[in-house]
Amino acid sequence: MDSKLCITALAALLLSVPAAADEITVYTSYEEDEAARFLELAKQDMPDLEVNMLRLSTGELAARIIAEKANPQHDVIWGFAASTIVTPQIEETLEAYRPKGIDAVPAEFRDADDKWFAVTGYMAAFCVNDERLEKLGLEKPTSWKDLLDPKYKGEIVMPNPASSGTGYIQVSSLLQMMGEDEGWAFLEKLDENIAQYIKSGSKPCHAASAGEFAVGASYDMRAIKNIEEGYPISMVIPAEGSGNELEANALVATSKNKDAAKRFLDWTVTKTAADAYLEWKAIVTIPGGNMPQRFLDAGLPADTNSVLHPTDFKAAAEDRKEIITTWQEKFER
C-alpha cells in the first residue's frame, strides 16, 4: 500500500508541473456537445494552443469558482450565464479585456467595463408534450397567459428561479414586461397551476419530454435538441415575448498565461466561431449569418429579435437578490 501511495503522490507532483506557455484551462457551462464542437474548431485554428476544458452546469461552476478563489485554476471563463458572472464574488476575479473584433458585437451584449462579453445566448421556451396534451384533451398553449387556464392545473413544471438561471430569466422577464405589481399577481395565479418548481432549467423540458407533465418551461436549445432526439414534443416561444440570458466569456485576472488566454478569447469572436455558434445557438450576438433550417423547423422565428423581450441585463442582475427573496417567500415550499 505504501508504495502505491508513493506512486500516487509522485503522480500528483508530476501533474502539477507548471503549464506550458501555450496551455490554458477553460471553465465552461456550454452544454457538453456544443463545447466539444467549438473546441474542435478552435484547435483547428490554433493547433499550437492546448485547451483543457472543464464543463459544469452554471450553478456548479459558480460554486467551484467561488471555492477556488484562493488559487484560481482557470484562465478563461467561457459561455457562462451573464446574470451569474456579474455576482461580485465572481466579477472581482475578472480582468478587463477587449478581444480583437469585439466592436462587431453590439455594446448591449458587453460589460461597460469590458470585464465580460457575450457572443451567444438563449431564451425561454416551453416544451409541450403533444402526446400528453392529446391524451388529456388539451390545446397547445401559446403564451404565458394561456398557462393560467385551470385545465392545465398540475400539468406545468417550471424551474425554480432561486437555483436555475433559466427560471430566473422567466420570472424576471415577466416582472419587467408586466411591471412589479401586475407581474407578481400574474405569478401568483400561475402558481396555482404549477405542479413543481424544479431546481434546474433543463429538467422541466426533460420531464415534459418523458411525458411526466404536459408543459415544461425551459429554454430554446433544450427544446430543439429534445425534438431532434425524437420526443413527441414541440417548442413554444411565449407570445408575450421571451426572457433571455447571455452566455459570457471573460479573462481571469490571475491567469498565468494571459497571452494564450487572450488568443482564445480573440478566437471566440472570429468568423469560424460565429458560424459554429449559428449551428448550435438560437441567439448569436455577432451580426451576419442565418439561422439553420432545423431551428426554423422546430419553431424558432428567423429573426429572433422579433420575439425577444428586450432584457435589461444590468437591472436583471441588480434586482436578482430581491426578486429571488420575494419569490421564495411567496412560492417556495
Q: Which residues bind other proteins (CB under 8 A)?
A: 1, 4-5, 8-9, 11-13, 15-16, 25, 31-33, 36, 52-57, 59-60, 62-64, 66-68, 70-71, 73, 84, 87, 89-90, 131-132, 160, 162-164, 195-197, 199, 202, 205-206, 210-213, 222, 225-226, 229-232, 324, 328, 332-333
At closest approach, how far in Å is the CB of 13 from other proteins? Answer: 6
At closest approach, how far in Å is the CB of 207 from other proteins? Answer: 9
**Closest to other proteins by CB, 194 or 269:** 194
**Closest to other proteins by CB, 27 or 313:** 27
Nearest-10 crossing angle of helices 320-331, 165-178: 100
At closest approach, how far in Å is the CB of 220 from other proteins? Answer: 13
**Closest to other proteins by CB, 122 or 197:** 197
**Closest to other proteins by CB, 101 or 232:** 232
**Closest to other proteins by CB, 67 or 302:** 67
Nearest to 215, CA basis, from 132, 289, 127, 134: 127
**Closest to other proteins by CB, 33 or 48:** 33
At closest approach, how far in Å is the CB of 79 from other proteins? Answer: 13
Separation of alpha carbons 290 and 275, rounded Å? 9
At closest approach, how far in Å is the CB of 91 from other proteins? Answer: 12
Give the amino acid at 235: M
At closest approach, how far in Å is the CB of 36 from other proteins? Answer: 6
**Closest to other proteins by CB, 198 or 307:** 198
Q: Which residues contact 4 (CB under 8 A, 6 or more apart)?
A: none
**Closest to other proteins by CB, 4 or 293:** 4
At closest approach, how far in Å is the CB of 138 from other proteins? Answer: 15
**Closest to other proteins by CB, 226 or 249:** 226
At closest approach, how far in Å is the CB of 331 from other proteins? Answer: 9
C-alpha cell at 253: 485576472
C-alpha cell at 80: 457562462
At closest approach, how far in Å is the CB of 167 from other proteins? Answer: 9
